[in-house]
Structure 1
């Protein structure tokens, strides 16, 4: 059992329930439409002019001239909205434990809105190797720049995510406009945006918006000069039903008033996976909110998600569950299935956990004894703002908000440097310095790496067994970020 610090925020039950219900009403409107987003007939891009690393034309073929069957199948798992102790058990049940073929833990992307957010919970996710991205402060569609930059500022200051790592953004409700994209681009710190849904039958890799959108804009407005050089767009392919109709962009939906069963959700995800895997192997996305999978709402969702992750990894040894930044990094330096086992873009930095370590406030049980940040994390409460969170970086005079994302504070805690810590170091906010802590270097390396060695048409439970796994001690670590 993992014991969190005694100062961890504890919601009153009524507040936790109210929060979950409020968020449920939000996500009911977000990404659940079935509008068809096809290709944009006016899109044009010259691949001899638009070249990596800063420009990339939209297309359905793997980067680097590789053939679809020679590359891994990538799946990106993303979560939207705030993270806290109510949702964390659902999230951890999905992402804790599974390993990619290179021995690294699977990694997800969290698009975090800061209202009702627990910054320490976000820090724990980041310290385990997940990507943190922004989703505004107050979950505002087509947001002003203050909402975008404010969330980035607060996540950096109170969740300890380096600014250099806060590179992604998703519009709430998937509601965007030319102006909101201009706001995003003008911030000058974002690498990519991921809000544009598209027909799941379209084969498309991420691309830059130098030449505008390659797909039609159905959840937002792309009128005017919608060209943003160097800003990547990660399309959100809809899930398709087996009859070819669109299911949804986010959170699998039932076609009737009855909720989907876990078996139905699993079958839907498997069908869409095989369409990617047996086709062009464009990245598949599983775009979800954690709230619907809460035990009091639709717990069968969690059952299905966990089963789907296990099914892909056990039956297909060339499948990687990665975050969005890893996907873009792999596209800059693509490799075949065998080469991807050692491709730094798909690597990981294991959490600093070893009995020889001292405990610092970084969201990890540094000594490996199951105690996380005990006596170090602070509980911040602002009843007048209906805001409660914990943080390793001190409590400000008021909760971060759109008019003041980094309020004054009397805390002596030190903010993390914009670039983080070099050489796999860990930031100690109490001492205000990067420290060197011991990290595991034992990873599992897959023996079988032959392309397509999984049963490409298998139904649930009928695929081949997972490849033999051997333990190996590596002389280096693949570093995604520090």
Structure 2
């Protein structure tokens, strides 16, 4: 007796061939009508429409207020849905966050929240005190007009990358929120830092806690990556990467004041996305950038002051430097640190300390920190402490040396101020003597 529901092998093959031919005809018809891979009859928040291959539209939500919370990507004829975290838009960068699924950020389908300006050729004339004046312009290589004996000295401590429970509880909060080590500025206020935040492994509530305590939050991209920027086509991806960080932070904290305060940026790995990075920062309303290395300390024995990009720089030590000029946009250079072995590095955690950083003692680390401070103090040029929090995990002796160093400076030098990047620029635009600062700088 024949089993019910069974077919002979040749019948199965014949049916599969017919089905394959039918699907092939349907696919060819679809490709012909939709330009090879376009998606037809896609439900978007603006109704049924066609999506071109490789393009995205905002998806229709399950209810009215869900519209725009998802985006649909057309990939070779397949409509793929993605979750968005801002209404009406998309971004094609995916961010991995601990304990959360992959997600994307949404941008307006009808255009980005920025104004794309035209590139400005650099003036032919040299930057001088006559054609470049504060508060909007400052020449590369110049020093403020205040006499060095009356000039305050600034130390700017910055950290790159993620902010999460461990580094917040052990390294950030004790210094910059609770002031457990009792380190003060000359005006009696606690010290503050600037965090260049990438959203990889970042807990937004910790970022908000740092901001609420008076620290500066700056940009470091959404997922710690930038396009090369070598082509004009990279402009939009650069916009996405830089502004994506702010949009994630806004979605997860709901704090628009925090997000609107983000005016500075540093490129991940210090790999500048060529001219597209400067264009994107200008168009997104950023005020300063700090990814360009200066080796003037190694060449001339004195670091470089911040400067604006109104004119072409006299000397550039980075792998890529801007070819166009950007009026009123500040560059805060990464002045190199001198390592124990005589070499120089822009990020202090890449220096060799003592005989070997892994075996360096607390005294070795303290001497390293203090020597570099003294190199800047000789000219009262700002000392920028560029690092990552994990340096204190890799080199445990560095942490007690760091505490000791900060306490030593705070108690031994009465004209040294620990400031954020924005506070440094505030002073650059309106330079004051140390005595004037004591009267006017209360925060």
TM superposition score normalised by structure 1: 0.58
Alignment match, 2:159: 79
Deviations 1:344-365 (A, max 9, x none): 4xx31xxxxxxxxxxxxxxxxx
Alignment match, 1:230: 328
Alignment match, 1:172: 268
**2:158–2:193 Cα contact (<8 Å) kept:** yes
1:273 matched to 2:373? The reply is: yes
Q: How much is the aligned-residue C-alpha RMSD, in angstroms?
A: 2.4
Alignment match, 1:461: none
User: Could you say what secondary structure the match of 1:230 adopts?
Assistant: strand
In structure 1, the gaps of 5 or more residues are: 1-14, 17-41, 349-482
1:59 matched to 2:141? The reply is: yes
Separation of aligned partners in 2, 1:70 and 1:99:
20
Instruction: Rate the CA distance shift 1:184–1:232 in 2: closer, same or farther, 3 A.
Output: same
Separation of aligned partners in 1, 2:125 and 2:206:
41
**1:79–1:288 Cα contact (<8 Å) kept:** yes
1:319 matched to 2:419? The reply is: no
Instruction: Give the Å deviation of 1:59.
Output: 2.9
Separation of aligned partners in 2, 1:215 and 1:140:
27
In structure 2, the gaps of 5 or more residues are: 1-96, 99-123, 229-236
Instruction: Give the Å deviation of 1:222.
Output: 2.5
1:298 matched to 2:392? The reply is: no
Instruction: Rate the CA distance shift 1:221–1:307 in 2: closer, same or farther, 3 A.
Output: same
Alignment match, 2:44: none
The equivalent position to 2:185 in structure 1, one of 76, 84, 100, is: 100
Q: Which has the larger radius of gyration?
A: 2
User: Could you say what secondary structure the match of 1:151 adopts?
Assistant: helix
Alignment match, 1:437: none
Of structures 1 and 2, the one with the larger relative CO (CA 8 A, separation 6+) is 1
Separation of aligned partners in 1, 2:131 and 2:256:
35
Instruction: Give the Å deviation of 1:253.
Output: 2.2
**2:294–2:303 Cα contact (<8 Å) kept:** no
1:146 matched to 2:228? The reply is: no
How many residue pairs end up in the alignment?
A: 300
Separation of aligned partners in 1, 2:213 and 2:125:
39
Alignment match, 2:150: 70
Deviations 1:36-89 (A, max 9, x none): xxxxxx99312211112221112342x2x2111211110000010110102112
**2:135–2:430 Cα contact (<8 Å) kept:** no
Instruction: Give the Å deviation of 1:106.
Output: 0.6
Separation of aligned partners in 1, 2:372 and 2:332:
18
Alignment match, 2:282: 185
Instruction: Rate the CA distance shift 1:192–1:247 in 2: closer, same or farther, 3 A.
Output: closer
Instruction: Rate the CA distance shift 1:243–1:87 in 2: closer, same or farther, 3 A.
Output: closer
Separation of aligned partners in 2, 1:264 and 1:183:
42
User: Could you say what secondary structure the match of 1:251 adopts?
Assistant: helix
Alignment match, 1:414: none
Separation of aligned partners in 2, 1:118 and 1:127:
15
TM superposition score normalised by structure 2: 0.63
Instruction: Give the Å deviation of 1:293.
Output: 1.1
The equivalent position to 1:289 in structure 2, one of 383, 388, 392, is: 388
**1:93–1:306 Cα contact (<8 Å) kept:** no
Q: Larger % of helix: which?
A: 2
